[in-house]
């Protein structure tokens, strides 16, 4: 995902105003193969690392959206409390 983003920021690209893929969650789906807790951790790891490497405004919004999602889902993230996630979101957006 980061490679595609980096290529689009350097060259010609187009963002269509619709979601071109369809994702279905069900018991036999790929995302059901890992626990929800692991999915939360992976999402957090990707967003925080991507923002650390590429701290531009678009990635900042992606990271903030991910933090908001994790907070709303009351996700348990290794080494992070819910208060810590809330603080990171506030620090990023300066908004409550």
Q: Which residue has the higher pLDDT, 44 or 96?
A: 44
pLDDT for residue 25 is more than 70: no
Statement: residue 27 has pLDDT above 80:
no
**Structural domain includes residue 28:** no
Model confidence at 24, pLDDT cuts 50, 70, 90, reads: low
**86: closest CA among 48, 74, 37?**
74
Residue 70 lies in a domain: yes
Mean pLDDT comparison of 10-19, 21-30, 55-64, highest-scoring range? 55-64
Domain that holds residue 78: 35-96
Q: How many domains does the chain have?
A: 1
pTM of the full structure: 0.72
Q: Is the backbone of residue 94 left (phi > 0), alpha (psi -120 to 50) or beta?
A: left
pLDDT digits (tens, 9 = 90+) for 52-88: 998 889 899 999 999 999 999 999 999 999 999 999 9
Residue 23 forms part of a structural domain = no
How high does pLDDT run on average in the chain? 84
Burial (Cβ within 10 Å: 0-12, 13-18, ≥19) of residue 50: middle
- pLDDT interval class at 31 (50, 70, 90): low
């Amino acid at each position: 995902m980061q490679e595609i983003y980096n290529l689009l920021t350097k060259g010609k690209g187009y963002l269509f105003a619709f979601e071109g893929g369809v994702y279905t969650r069900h018991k036999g789906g790929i995302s059901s193969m890992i626990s929800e807790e692991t999915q939360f951790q992976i999402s957090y790891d990707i967003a925080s690392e991507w923002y650390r490497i590429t701290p531009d405004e678009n990635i900042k919004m992606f990271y903030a959206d991910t933090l908001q999602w994790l907070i709303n889902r009351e996700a348990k993230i290794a080494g992070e409390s819910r208060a810590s996630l809330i603080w990171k979101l506030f620090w990023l957006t300066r908004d409550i």
